[in-house]
Amino acid sequence: MKPRDIAAYLFLAVVWGLSFLVLLRVVQAFGWVGAVSLRSLVAGATLIIAARLMRRRLHFTSGWRPLAVVGATTVAAQLIGLSYATPRIGTAMAAIFVTAIPLFSMLIGQAWGIEKITTRGLIGLVLGTIGLLLLVGFPSVPVTGSFVLGCAASLFASFAAAFGSNYASRHLQHTGAFEVTAGSFLFGGLMTLPLLLAVPVPALPHLIDFGYLLVLSCIMSALNYVLYFRLVASIGPTRTISVEFVVTVVAVLVGALHLHEDLSVIQILGAAVIISGCMLVLGLVPEWRWVRWILRSETAG
């Protein structure tokens, strides 16, 4: 990885890890629907304005339909799930659920014929499923209806993100990162805007709340997603998506140190199992033949 890629990778990990904390503030001020709709519209508008200032022409050659699908899944559905779940299950658990995205992505890729599940990938899926069961089944807090709904919303968000990523890779291969990010955020924001009639903004937000919204929209959404798609083009999707593991570590530390959130020992074990499974799915663990070769070399030495 080039120094520029390493810097972008670390920036994404830290900023997305901190985004769960900012998201809590925005949800408290604007409600969980407002946090999604306003965040998406501001993020999309930010990229349009940035492109104008940079005198960069945006080419939406793929048409509006693929962008609408990605906006409905990767943006609207994923952010609704996260915004609804985070205040109910905490930033730590919400971040851990995000690591399930590669598991769902592999299942969708298999169903669509994009990729085949290898033995290593199958083991990873089994480990990830076991980890999710440990995470949900042995919490450090009482299991209430709100907790269960929060977990379900997190799983829904992860599945939606995986679906949107596979759809984008299939139908938006020749569309630039700026166009995909701006278009999908604008569509996601417009789709969720009518929901404000059912879940309105709870009260008049303070000036600092609009500041949090701008940070969440302009930096943690617009800028980060452009960096993410550029990193995919530079180092590949597998290595790029591994940033979710570092995001989880940052978010868990933020939840434990700043918000005083607790995870049971079994939940921590479940998180480790999920991450291990995802590393197998993503191919970040060496092939078994190389492991055996290393062990033989050490024994011979």
Say what percent of the chain tops pLDDT 70: 90
For the chain, which residues make up each domain, given as ranges? Answer: 3-300
Alpha helices in 55-118 (DSSP H): 64-70, 78-98, 101-111
Nearest to 139 by CA among 200, 93, 70: 93
Cβ 44 vs Cβ 38: under 8 Å? no
Query: Picking from 1-10, 52-61, 183-192, 287-296, which range would have the lowest pLDDT averaged per residue?
Result: 287-296
| pLDDT > 70? residue 94 | yes
pLDDT per residue as tens digits for the range 53-86: 888 888 777 778 899 999 999 899 999 999 999 8
Give Rg (Cα) of the chain.
20
Query: For the range 104-113, what are the long-range contacts, defined as Cβ-Cβ under 8 Å and sequence gap of 24 or more?
Result: 104/158, 104/159, 104/161, 104/162, 104/163, 105/162, 105/165, 105/166, 106/281, 107/162, 108/162, 108/163, 108/166, 109/166, 112/166, 112/170
pLDDT band (50, 70, 90) for residue 238? low
| pLDDT > 90? residue 212 | yes
pLDDT per residue as tens digits for the range 255-294: 777 777 777 788 788 888 888 877 776 666 655 554 454 4
Report how far apart, in Å, the C-alpha atoms of 61 and of each of 14, 41, 175, 256 are.
33, 21, 7, 45
Buried b / exposed e along 186-218 (16+ C-beta atoms within 10 A): bbbbbbbbebbeebeeeeebeeebeebbebbbb
Helix (H) or strand (E) holding 21: helix 3-53
pLDDT at 284: 65
| pLDDT > 80? residue 222 | yes
